[in-house]
Amino acid sequence: MAITDRDHFVYGRCPNPVECGHGLTIGGGSVVPEINFTLPPMEIAESTWPEVRRQYSEMIGSVLERAIQLEVPQLLVEFETLPGMTHRPAWGLEIVRLLADALARAHTEHGLKCALRFTPNDIRESSRPPLMRRGEHWEAMNEIFSGAGHAGADMISIESTGGKEIHDKALLHADLKGIVYALGVLAYRDMAFLWSHLVGECKRQSILPAGDTACGFANTAMVLADRGMIPRSLAAIVRVATVPRSLVAYLEGATGPSKDCAYEGPYLKAMAGIPISMEGKSCACAHLSPVGNVAQAVCDAWSNESVQNIQLLSGKAPVVSMEHLAYDCRLMNTASAEDGGALRLSRWLAESDAPLDVQAYVLHPEVVLRLCERIVEGVTPYEQTIIAVQESIEEMIRAVDDNAVQLPEREVDWLNRLRVAAAALPAKEEAMIDQMIEAGSYADVYRPSEYGLQGA
């Protein structure tokens, strides 16, 4: 545990800050806005490529102009490719160069401390069942990884999808055993494979191996819960259960900042001491959530997730997002300048959301620290995943009993059912693997060998 004391678990500061890009420090005392933007509805093709370039030029130009007008001192820009740009690496890298050049000019001409996060897609799931360690999609990803630094990226992140092919199905069936198999057996193996590779690649290119996100797992759950499709308590359990999986990137040598949509970030910060990027109310332009304030409580970079380049009354949407982030960060950093100010604001951010939804409750910094202390008792990622599931359930049940968080009646019943399912999970990873493979569970959607496992 890198952080054990709530008094030291606040936004803007972490035990292992990083320096990157043009004089940018993340986690060193102030919160940095992280802006991301994407195309309006349009096709990405040879014929539309000049327009794609023009859109990105317009977005980065207008965002930087507004940041400079608002005297933003530090800025992180994320470029997350669209799938077509990873399938065709030259396209993705061309946009990286375009953005990196704009950031370099802003630094030279205006003194803006800034950096570029580059997030290619995990396109391995284009094969069904996915090929995780070979094939044309993995090769395209490698090509884009290997060109990132040369194109001007300062760090690489990814939203990796190992295990997601099972997790999606298990989530819809509220199959806790399938969820734990996906996260605690498959996903962590893939993370170890992917991040050992990425860390080596980033070292070679002298850029940061920033980190991964369990977005495809826990944010899928959050969005489904928000639409009333699955219980919120299940989404909260999944959130905590993703922690050991995402932690693997840092055990392999990733440095942070974690990716914005990794809402498991507070857990990673407490355990690994890395700086984290978060998003909350600032990303309502991309998706809704019940964690708008609490997500901000211990962030080191504060992001909008992504916004389309569409016209709003005041200007283009990326400029609007830039302004939101700039003011949010200005407030947080002003509070930090007062004695105890950061902790006070962090508490308000946490306590304004946590009692209203179990998904917010499990992101409350005090709850995060309690659960982290239990999770690290596990030796392997599988054991940690089991602990994360069981302890998050117990934490929620206690909180509901104490009226510390509200939960609709039908959800209380679900939480109790999930508690029974959690108690029945195999304690040993080998037993879990044997049971899943022998039963042929989800056999049609994944290839065990792609995770280093023997098939049935």
Partner 1 sequence: MLNLLKEAVLKGDMTEAAELTSQALEDGVSPGEILSDGLIATMDIVGQEFESGIRFIPEMLVSAEAMKSAMEILRPQLIASGIESRGKVVIGTVEGDLHDIGKDLVATMLEGAGYDIVDLGVEVTAGQFVEAVQKHSPDVVAMSALLTTTMVFMPGVIQALQDAGLRDSVRVVIGGAPVTRDYAEEIGADGYADDAPTAVALVKSLT
- Please, which residue, 164 or 269, has the CB nearer to partner 1? 164
Q: Is 285 in the site for partner 1 (CB under 8 A)?
A: no
- Please, which residue, 46 or 339, has the CB nearer to partner 1? 46
* Minimum distance of partner 1 from residue 228's CB (angstroms): 6
For residue 216, how far is the Cα from the chain centroid? Answer: 9
Site for partner 1 in 102-131 (CB under 8 A): 123, 125-126, 128
The residue type of 346 is: S
With CB under 8 A as the contact rule, the residue among 1, 8, 42, 398 that binds partner 1 is 42
Cβ atoms 64, 316 nearer than 8 A? no
- Please, which residue, 46 or 227, has the CB nearer to partner 1? 227
With CB under 8 A as the contact rule, the residue among 1, 4, 23, 40 that binds partner 1 is 40
For 272-323, the DSSP string reads H---BEEESGGGTTT---S-TTGGGTT-SEEE----B--B-SSSBHHHHHHH
* Minimum distance of partner 1 from residue 222's CB (angstroms): 13
- Please, which residue, 231 or 265, has the CB nearer to partner 1? 231
Site for partner 1 in 287-316 (CB under 8 A): 308
* Minimum distance of partner 1 from residue 161's CB (angstroms): 9
Q: CA-CA distance, 45 to 83, in Å (whole number)?
A: 12
Q: How many CB atoms lie within 10 A of CB 129?
A: 16
Q: Is 229 in the site for partner 1 (CB under 8 A)?
A: yes
With CB under 8 A as the contact rule, the residue among 59, 100, 224, 386 that binds partner 1 is 224
* Minimum distance of partner 1 from residue 93's CB (angstroms): 18
Cis amide leading into 426 (omega within 30) = no
* HSE (side-chain half, CA atoms, 13 Å) at 173: 13
Q: CA-CA distance, 95 to 44, in Å (whole number)?
A: 13
Stretch touching partner 1 by CB under 8 A, among 41-49, 108-116, 295-303, 432-440: 41-49
Q: Is 150 in the site for partner 1 (CB under 8 A)?
A: no
Q: Is 54 in the site for partner 1 (CB under 8 A)?
A: no
Site for partner 1 in 381-410 (CB under 8 A): 410
Q: Identify which of 276, 159, 273 has the alpha carbon closest to the alpha carbon of residue 212.
A: 159
Q: Is 50 in the site for partner 1 (CB under 8 A)?
A: no
Question: What residues contact 347, with CB distance under 8 A and at least 6 apart?
Answer: 297
Q: CA-CA distance, 430 to 371, in Å (whole number)?
A: 25
With CB under 8 A as the contact rule, the residue among 2, 39, 356, 453 that binds partner 1 is 39
Q: Identify which of 93, 82, 108, 142 has the alpha carbon closest to the alpha carbon of residue 21.
A: 108
Q: Which residues contribute to the site for partner 1 (CB under 8 A)?
A: 38-44, 82-84, 123, 125-126, 128, 168, 172-174, 220, 224, 227-231, 308, 410, 414
